[in-house]
Amino acid sequence: MPTMRHLSPEDRSFFALLTETVYANPFGTDQERLSRLLGRAAPSTVSQADLYDKLMPALETRLEALRQRGLERLDQFCAEDQTLMRQVFLFHGYQHHYRLVDGLIEHQRRGRTSAADLSWIPDLLNRLRDYGFDPQESRRWVALYYQLRRAYDFIERALVGRSEPMRTLRRSLWNSAFTTDLRSYTQLLWGRMQDFSTLLLGETGTGKGSAAAAIGRSGAIPLEGPGHRFARGIEETFIATNLSELSEGLIESELFGHRKGAFTGAVDNHDGLFARCDSYGTLFLDEIGDVSLPVQTKLLRVLQERTFTPVGSHKPQRFEGRIVAATNRSLQELMSGSGFRRDFFYRLSGNIICVPTLRERLADSPDELEELVAALLGRMVGEAADALQAGIMEALSELPANYPWPGNVRELEQALRRIILNGCYVPDALPGGHESAADAWILSAEAGSLDAAELLAGYCRQLYEKLGTYEAVARVTGLDRRTAKRHIHG
Ligand SMILES: Nc1ncnc2c1ncn2[C@@H]1O[C@H](COP(=O)(O)OP(=O)(O)OP(=O)(O)O)[C@@H](O)[C@H]1O
């Protein structure tokens, strides 16, 4: 009967609200829709997706009622309801299988050598087929489920902190993988995000590397072959390099590769990072603010034309991957054009994400310190973390109120190590910011209480504050960039 093929207005509005909610950015601030679906105020969590399981009983009830009416496949719905029901069935399949997808991600993350359990993939494909999805299309949805779970893993779990600045960061990272609308992303942009570069800005130690990894590990990876395997594992999708650690002579060869005989020591052909990063990969260029103008020109060419030429070759090669770059130089510095090409900046800055400082995070949510300490300790000492936590928090409470954490999360990691070893943490930089740290260093130097290493480290830090790049510090001191950086960050 034709009327059977329509959703009731009530079902239609429930499903519309459901899909608008679950296809939006899960780190969004719109709790209102979720509360309406839950029938009560939605509790606050790191991500709204934490609550999607709670929507399942109401969804199951409605789908069961439709089944009773003989409606359980897409082609049994009228055309105007099919788009909506497609999204509903996809969400239903996803909620039933995401834990199995998580199992695969955990397996890959731990680098286990045993074969991963992939038996859920044919099950899921069968379920989608039963809903009436075409087999080719179903493979794409399974790949999208894998992608969504990787994104949750790296955006939600790997980045600790519930403060508003961290929520904003997560929202931006999610958008850089999926845009603001997951539905149009899946239709139009899935597998086509390679030309969307991202520039991460933030002080040293804020976690730009983790943010870059979250973007890099959240890209589209198709399902391939009759054995239903994903084309790449997690480890293969993200290639990171710190440009300030590559000497000027090596940087081009590292990035673009070289041909045999291109220079003394080039005894073989060598693939650079751009060649190794394929269309499923992301190349992370850390400390982009430190590269020389000639290298910037070459990188600009890769961004514009998506080609690069290995040293000693005349044959351009195509770059298939995506670029994420990061710098701890400020936006003003980059835009002022001193040492940084404007056209390069504009080509990189299509998507700028600012990674918040630890002091911004703690100003918004002081409890974030405890959460971070627990996570960092867990990484450092495993199960012993619980026993150490209280003592560490007590030692940290000795710090002045509003201590500014100039070295951000990296400094906090260092503080934890020092507290474990010495029972207390005395910051190298005094509270009050860089000026008082500089004052303290000058006073100590005048008092003759610094050894040679402290003298050099302090001098490098002063220069870095003034000049802004490791390269400039290296030029003035006659050290190489890597050594200068080591002195600056200790
Ligand atoms: N939100 C966070 N949750 C957990 N760990 C974090 C977080 N932010 C930073 N970290 C940790 O802090 C350390 C420093 O982070 P990272 O190296 O990514 O900083 P960065 O901003 O890239 O610094 P730099 O500009 O000096 O390279 C790392 O060990 C990282 O895992």
- Are 7 and 146 part of one and the same domain? yes
From 410, 461, 489, mutation site for ligand 1 pocket: most ligand atoms within 8 A of C-beta: 410
| Secondary structure of residue 307 in the 3-state scheme | strand
Looking at the fold, whether 45 and 123 belong to one and the same domain comes out as yes
Number of structural domains the chain divides into? 4
Task: Name which residue sits closest to atom 15 of ligand 1, judged by CA.
Answer: 207
Q: Is residue 179 assigned to a domain?
A: no
Same domain (yes/no): 232, 341: yes
Same domain? For 415 and 453 the reply is no
Report which of 160, 177, 168, 251 is spatially closest to residue 217, judged by C-alpha positions: 177
| CATH number of the domain where residue 321 is located | 3.40.50.300
Band of pLDDT at residue 170, cut at 50, 70 and 90: very high
Which residues lie across from 285 on neighbouring strands? Answer: 241, 325
**Ligand 1 pocket, CB under 6 A:** 159-161, 202, 204-210, 286, 328, 375, 409-410, 413
- Say whether both 260 and 134 belong to one domain: no
Least confident of 275-289, 417-431, 476-490: 417-431
232-242: burial string, b at 16+ Cβ within 10 Å, e else: bbbeebbbbbe
Is 417 a domain residue?
Answer: yes
Same domain, 117 and 241: no
Q: Residues 315, 376: one domain?
A: no
Q: Report pLDDT for 440.
A: 60
Domain end among 337, 354, 371: 354
Residue 194 backbone dihedrals phi, psi, to 5 degrees: -60, -30
Distance from C-alpha of 410 to C-alpha of 9, rounded to nearest angstrom: 54
Q: Give me the amino acid identity at 187.
A: Q
CA separation for the pair 308, 29 (Å, rounded): 41
Full domain range(s) for residue 147: 2-158
In the chain, pLDDT over 70 holds for what percent of residues?
A: 94
The single residue listed with the structure tokens 């440009």 is 243
**CB contact set of 460 (below 8 Å; sequence gap of 6+):** 473, 477, 479, 484, 487, 488
- What pLDDT, on the 0 to 100 scale, is given for residue 439? 62
**Residue 377 covered by a domain:** yes
Of 210, 245, 287, 372, the one to substitute when testing ligand 1's pocket (max ligand atoms within 8 A of C-beta) is: 210
- In Å, the largest CA–CA distance within the chain is 94
Segment holding 238, helix H or strand E:
strand 238-242
Same domain, 276 and 401: no
The pLDDT, as a whole number, for residue 482 is: 86
Q: Is 323 helix (H, G, I), strand (E, B) or coil?
A: strand
pLDDT at position 36: 80
| 176: in domain | no
Compute the distance from residue 193 Cα to the ligand 1 centre, in Å.
Answer: 25
The answer to whether residue 340 sits within a structural domain is: yes
CA nearest ligand 1 atom 13, residue: 410
Shared domain check, 84 and 66? yes
Residue nearest to atom 8 of ligand 1 (CA): 207
Last residue of a domain, one of 354, 372, 393: 354
**Same domain flag for 112 and 20:** yes
Q: Which residues contact 304 (CB under 8 A, 6 or more apart)?
A: 347
Q: Tell me the per-residue pLDDT of 413-465, one tens digit each, with 9 for 90 and over.
A: 999 999 999 988 988 754 444 555 666 667 666 656 678 888 898 888 888 87
Same domain? 279 vs 371: no
Of 157, 154, 105, 94, the C-alpha closest to 128 is 94
Q: Taking residues 80-107, report their average pLDDT.
A: 91
Domain end, chosen from 327, 354, 381, is at: 354
Do 27 and 84 sit in the same domain of this protein?
yes
Ligand 1 centroid from CA 409, angstroms: 6
Q: What is 59-79 written as a DSSP string?
A: HHHHHHHHHHTT--SGGGS-H
Best CA proximity match to 55, nearest among 85, 9, 99, 96: 96
Cα 122 from Cα 142, distance rounded (Å): 10
The pLDDT tens digits of the residues spanning 299-351 come to: 999 999 999 999 988 899 999 999 999 999 887 777 776 678 888 888 888 89
- pTM across the whole model: 0.83
Bigger pLDDT: 37 vs 55: 55
With residues binned 3-state (H G I as helix, E B as strand, rest as coil), the percentages for the chain, rounded to 5, are: 60, 5, 35
Determine the residue type at 37.
L
ipTM of the complex: 0.95
In this prediction, residue 379 carries a pLDDT of 93
Atom of ligand 1 nearest to the CA of 211: 18
| Residue 146, domain member (yes or no) | yes
Instruction: Return the ligand 1 atom nearest residue 242 CA.
Output: 27
